[in-house]
Amino acid sequence: MAQNKGFGFGLGKMKELAQAIQKAQQVQEDAKRLQEELERMEIEGQAGSGLVKVVLSGNQEPLRVEIKAEALGEGAEVLSDLVFAAMTDAYRNSTETMRSRMEELTAGLQLPGMPGM
């Protein structure tokens, strides 16, 4: 006599599906919290031993630029280079912060195509 298997889902598979859905909801909540945290962060980049500082939010929104008086005497070209270097440093720091926070968020998840799979 053939055993009725329904749609091919046993109780074990249903439990796995429920756990996966629960985990996805938790990740979504954690991602929202992370987004809010990044909005509040201030990430700094600097150049010229601190003559120029650029501050971005964790979401890479520009917040402010600080230029010390000593930098003004360097001339427009040098000052432009310092501002650019500070912006680049802030962007790099922000990107690294976002990457590491996302790695923390997704640690332990088994996502297709991700390292460790």
3-state secondary structure of 116: coil
Report pLDDT for 117: 41
Domain with 63, as residue range(s), is 42-106
Selected residue with higher pLDDT from 19 and 2 = 19
pLDDT value at position 15? 80
Number of domains forming the structure of the chain: 1
Q: Which residues contact 71 (CB under 8 A, 6 or more apart)?
A: 48, 51, 52, 78, 79, 82
pLDDT of 3 > 80? The answer is no
How many CB atoms within 10 Å of residue 104? 10
Closest C-alpha among 107, 105, 99, 106 to residue 60: 99
CATH number of the domain to which 68 belongs = 3.30.1310.10
pLDDT tens digits for range 61-104: 999 999 999 999 999 999 999 999 999 999 999 999 989 988 88
Residue 9 lies in a domain: no
Contact indicator for 59, 51 with CB cutoff of 8 Å: no
| pLDDT for residue 27 | 79
When mean pLDDT is compared across 5-14, 26-35, 44-53, the lowest value belongs to 5-14
In a domain, 65, yes or no: yes
Q: Is the dihedral of CA 23, 26, 32, 35 positive or negative?
A: negative
Task: Say yes or no to pLDDT of 108 above 70.
Answer: no
Write down the pTM of the prediction. 0.69
What is residue 21's three-state secondary structure? helix
Residues 35-51: pLDDT tens digits? 888 889 999 999 999 99
Cα distances from 30 to residues 36, 104, 114, in angstroms, run: 10, 10, 19
Please indicate, yes or no, if residue 80 is contained in any of the structural domains: yes
